[in-house]
Amino acid sequence: SSKVLEAIENVIQDVLQSLAQYKAPVLTLANRSDWRNIEQFKDSVGLQMIQDCTMTQIRIDCHRSALKFALMLKILSMIYKMVQSNTYATKRDIYYSDTLLFGSQTVVDNIVNDISCMLKIPRRSLHILSTSKGSVAGNLSYTEEDGTKVSCTCSGTVFNVPSNVEGIKNLISHAKFMLIVEKDATFQRLLDDDFCKKLSPCIMITGRGIPDLNTRLLVRKLWDSFQIPVFILVDADPHGVEIMCVYKYGSVSMSFEAHHLTVPSIKWLGILPSDLKRLNIQKEVLIPFTKRDQNKLSSIQNRPYIACQPTWKRELEIMAASKLKAEIQALTSISSDYLSRVYLPNKLQFGGWL
């Protein structure tokens, strides 16, 4: 707490000194969208911001950034008060404290991330919580920060990912592996099929698409705690690959927190583009690429971590050549329970992952 308060005080002191010298105050932070700010890629860490990175300035005397400057000071003030009083707020709480001032939730989300990057302090230490959208089930129990005991081990029981992942303790699990599932519908279907128990005890997590910060933090915390294999099941399309990359390597915009958010050991279990031909999935259930799909795939293929993954590279080339994509649900064209009864057990038993 003292570190957070001191960091905010230093920022405000710089602003006051500029004003005292009749200079326009400036807030300086790393450019979070610049690939040049990413360290030469390390497979063991993921995308990590370099020390000497290009910076961006938020100036009060610039029409384009004056409002953002004011909003950053406003949220810094709110953070300072929360840390002092040991209270917490969600990003949604901040937005609804003055919707006319902030304009949209996205504005608040971006400014909170900018402040975290500027202060070099993880967002959870700023007493700002995110509303979790992810779910967890399977062989896992833990105690939340307020003392609430959570047990996911009951068959079919699903819990929301905690809003304060750092605060959970007493984690217990006998799981043999962890399975990240892209979609909630697939997650629920696997639960209905009792997948968490049938093959061997496991933990299942879904971020319902692009994962929020708390889901990524929980995956990392479970991996740190249990050191079990982590697999991911996504659609065989550029969007699914993007989601997998966020879990495994992180994102450029959050690269300043790579050590806390990425799990580089994640294995791509499916759906692999090569599976579509191997399993003789009929073309009628495949979906043609859109221009957006082509652009996304091209972007992923040019990223530095793909060079470290020759097997991934080959799968992406298969996808690019076919210009077809498949949802996980395409496996139901073989049989309704093919995913849980045949596909996943065979993959896990015989090493069908990348």
> pLDDT tens for residues 333-353?
888 889 989 999 999 988 889
> pLDDT tens for residues 14-36?
999 999 999 999 888 877 776 66
Residue 86 in contact with residue 59, Cβ under 8 Å?
no
Domain boundary among 114, 129, 144: 129
Amino acid at position 86, single letter = N
Active site residue 80: no
pLDDT score at 155: 63
Q: How confident is the model at residue 43 (pLDDT cuts 50, 70, 90)?
A: low
Residues 237 and 311 in one domain: yes
Residues 171 and 122 in one domain: no
Residues 26 and 150 in one domain: no
With a pLDDT cut of 90, the percent of the chain lying above it is: 51
Measured torsion, CA atoms of residues 203, 207, 213, 216, in degrees rounded to the nearest 10: 30
Domain boundary among 129, 151, 172: 129
Domain boundary among 129, 148, 179: 129
Please give the residue range of the domain that contains residue 278: 135-350
Residues 237 and 92 in one domain: no
> pLDDT tens for residues 87-111?
888 888 999 999 999 999 999 999 9
Q: How confident is the model at residue 40 (pLDDT cuts 50, 70, 90)?
A: low
Question: How many domains is the chain built from?
Answer: 2
Q: How confident is the model at residue 44 (pLDDT cuts 50, 70, 90)?
A: low
Residue 262 has pLDDT above 90, yes or no: no
pLDDT score at 274: 93
> pLDDT tens for residues 300-312?
998 888 888 899 9
Residues 284 and 233 in one domain: yes
| Token pair 């779910």: residue | 135
Mean pLDDT across 227-245: 94
Residues 144 and 50 in one domain: no
Q: Which helix (H) or strand (E) holds 109?
A: helix 105-119
Residue 254 has pLDDT above 80, yes or no: no
Pairing of strands 135-138, 202-206: antiparallel
User: Which candidate in 95, 96, 249, 343 is catalytic?
Assistant: 96
Residues 219 and 278 in one domain: yes
Residues 148 and 290 in one domain: yes
Check which CATH number belongs to the domain holding 22 and give it: 1.10.10.10
CA distance 247 to 236: 16
Q: How confident is the model at residue 192 (pLDDT cuts 50, 70, 90)?
A: confident
Residues 190 and 333 in one domain: yes
Check which CATH number belongs to the domain holding 250 and give it: 3.40.1360.10
Residues 153 and 54 in one domain: no
Residues 29 and 158 in one domain: no
With a pLDDT cut of 70, the percent of the chain lying above it is: 94
Residues 195 and 112 in one domain: no
> pLDDT tens for residues 112-129?
988 988 888 887 789 888
Judged by average pLDDT, the poorest of 30-39, 260-269, 312-321 is 30-39
